[in-house]
Amino acid sequence: MTNITTIGLDLAKSVFQIHCADRDGQRVKRNITVTVYSIP
């Protein structure tokens, strides 16, 4: 099991990305969530 020590959050206009890394800087997990919404 790898421990996550660093979390990066990228907030774009319609896409949120979450990057997780261990203490050596190796990527553990990457999630991409697309949110589309409209503000009148």
- DSSP per residue over 1-40, as a string? -PPP-EEEEEE-SSEEEEEEE-TTS-EEEEEEEE------
State the pTM of this model. 0.56
Our count of domains for the chain comes to 1
Q: Determine the pLDDT at residue 38.
A: 60
* Section 24-31 average pLDDT: 81
- Average pLDDT rounded to a whole number, residues 9-20: 78
Q: Which domain holds residue 26?
A: 1-40
